[in-house]
Structure 1
Amino acid sequence: MESALLNLDLPSSLVMKAEKEIQEIAARRDRDVQAFKDMIQKEESLDACLDDRFLIRFLRARKYNHDRALRMLKTYYAMKAAYPTLFTQLQPSLLTSVWSQNIYHGLTDQDDEGRSVSILQLGLWDPSVSSVEEMFRAVLACLEYASMDPSIQVCGVVGIFDCKGLAFHHAKHFTPSLAQKGASVLKDCFPIRFKGIHVLNEPLIVDMLFSMLKPFLSTKILTRFHFHGENLESLHQHVPKRILPCLYGGEKPTLDGSYHLQKLMDFEQWLKDLDNYGYQSKVPAKKVLNSGKGNIFTRYFFS
Structure 2
Amino acid sequence: MRLISIDPEQLYQKDPNIKREDVKTLQEWLRKQPHLPKIEESQAIIFLHSCCYSIQATKRTIDCYFTRRTRHPEIFRYPSADRLNKALPISLQQYLPRKTPEGYRVLLKRLMDVKVEYFNFTNEIMLINLIIALSIHKHGISEGLVSVFDFQGVALGHLARVNLSVLKCALDHLQEGLPVRVKGIHVINAVPFMDKILALVKPFLQRELYEMIHIHSSFDSLYKYIPKECLPSDYGGELPSCQVFWEELKKDLFDNAQFFQWHDSQAVDELKRMEKSTVLDSTLGVDGTFKKLEIDFGDLLGYKMHLTCIEAEKLYLRDPKIKPEDVKILQEWLKKQPHLPNLEESQVIIFLHSCYYSIQATKKTIDCYFTRRTLRRELFNLPTEDTIRKAFSVGFKKILPRKTPQGYVVMISGLVDHRPDRYIFNNEVLLLNLLYSLHIFQQGFSDGLVGIIDFQGGTLGHLARVNLSTQKFMIDHLQEGIPIRLKSIHMVNTPSFMDKIMAILKPLMSSKLFEMIQVHSTLDTLYKYVPKECLPEDYGGELPSRQMMQEETLKEVFDNLDFFRWHDSQVVDESKRIGQPNITQSTFGVEGTFKKLAID
TM range, smaller chain:
0.7 to 0.9
Distance in 2, matches of 1:286 and 1:165, equals 44
In structure 2, the partner of 1:135 is 428
Taking structure 2 as the reference length, the TM-score comes to 0.44
Letter in 1 for 2:462: H
Letter in 2 for 1:137: L
Cα distance, 1:43 vs structure 2: 2.1
* Structure 2 residue matching 1:100: 3-state secondary structure: helix
Say if 2:243 is the partner of 1:243.
no
Distance in 1, matches of 2:467 and 2:308, equals 38
Backbone CA RMSD of aligned residues = 3.2
* Structure 2 residue matching 1:183: 3-state secondary structure: helix
Change (3 A) 1:190 1:247: same
The match for 1:154 among 435, 438, 446 is 446
Say if 2:408 is the partner of 1:115.
yes
Change (3 A) 1:227 1:283: farther
Change (3 A) 1:166 1:245: same
Distance in 1, matches of 2:575 and 2:417, equals 35
* Structure 1 residue matching 2:489: 3-state secondary structure: strand
- Cα deviation per residue 1:49-83 (whole Å; 9 max; x = unaligned)? 32112222211111121111111111112212322
Distance in 2, matches of 1:212 and 1:277, equals 32
Distance in 2, matches of 1:243 and 1:300, equals 39
Change (3 A) 1:279 1:127: farther
- Cα deviation per residue 1:115-161 (whole Å; 9 max; x = unaligned)? 2212211363555446221211111001101212555x131221111
Distance in 2, matches of 1:11 and 1:75, equals 23
* Structure 1 residue matching 2:450: 3-state secondary structure: strand
Letter in 1 for 2:353: R
The match for 1:216 among 467, 486, 508 is 508
Say if 2:352 is the partner of 1:59.
yes
Say if 2:491 is the partner of 1:199.
yes
* Structure 1 residue matching 2:446: 3-state secondary structure: helix
Cα distance, 1:182 vs structure 2: 2.2
Q: Could you say which structure has the greater relative contact order, defined with CA pairs below 8 angstroms and 6 or more residues apart?
A: 1
Cα distance, 1:252 vs structure 2: 3.0
Taking structure 1 as the reference length, the TM-score comes to 0.82
5 Å-filtered alignment, 1:71-82, equals 71-82=364-375
Letter in 1 for 2:365: M
Cα distance, 1:263 vs structure 2: 2.9
Distance in 2, matches of 1:9 and 1:53, equals 8
Structure 1 gap segments, 5+ residues each: none
* Structure 2 residue matching 1:47: 3-state secondary structure: coil
Is the CA contact 2:536–2:544 (under 8 Å) kept in the aligned structure 1?
yes
Distance in 2, matches of 1:268 and 1:58, equals 23
Change (3 A) 1:93 1:59: farther
Distance in 2, matches of 1:202 and 1:302, equals 28
Is the CA contact 2:368–2:477 (under 8 Å) kept in the aligned structure 1?
no
Letter in 2 for 1:35: I
Cα distance, 1:237 vs structure 2: 0.7
Say if 2:323 is the partner of 1:32.
no
Is the CA contact 1:122–1:161 (under 8 Å) kept in the aligned structure 2?
no
Structure 2 gap segments, 5+ residues each: 1-304
Cα distance, 1:4 vs structure 2: 5.5
In structure 1, the partner of 2:311 is 7
Letter in 2 for 1:200: V
Distance in 2, matches of 1:63 and 1:286, equals 27
